[in-house]
Amino acid sequence: MTVTLTEKAEFRLRAFLKSSAAEENQAKKGIRISVKNGGCSGYEYGIEITNKPQPDDIVTQQGNVLIYVDAKSAPLLEGVVIDFIEGVMDSGFKFSNPNATDTCGCGKSFKSGDCSPNGVPCS
């Protein structure tokens, strides 16, 4: 499973992790990245802070950030690069996904091949 964080994204995520909630389970605190049905194009990205890995999570680490990816989303996130952009009109995490065959204008959803939007990886 390859998910890459740019330097800016890792820095921003470390800051979120550091400032979030209590000190308990700090060793397991990380981000969960997922793909859900929805958005303009069929799938939308999900990102949240967590300290409770799920049984089927694939766990990787980049720098000081633990990354949890649920097994169902993994094929759709293989090779994704997550950046953090800052602009006058828009700021936030930007996903560059080599599996996406189409993305919507907002950049928060994508389509992958001829798959239906059921979170099922393309064959």
Average pLDDT score over residue span 47-76: 91
* 26-42: pLDDT as tens digits: 678 999 999 887 766 67
Distance of alpha carbon 20 from alpha carbon 102, whole angstroms: 34
Looking at residue 25, its pLDDT comes to: 60
Beta-sheet pairing, 30-38 with 3-5 = unpaired
- When the pLDDT of each residue in the chain is averaged and rounded to a whole number, the result is 80
21 pLDDT higher than 80: no
Distance of alpha carbon 45 from alpha carbon 18, whole angstroms: 23
Average pLDDT score over residue span 14-22: 79
pTM of the complete model: 0.79
- Helix then strand count (H, E) for the chain reads 2, 9
Beta-sheet pairing, 57-62 with 65-70 = antiparallel
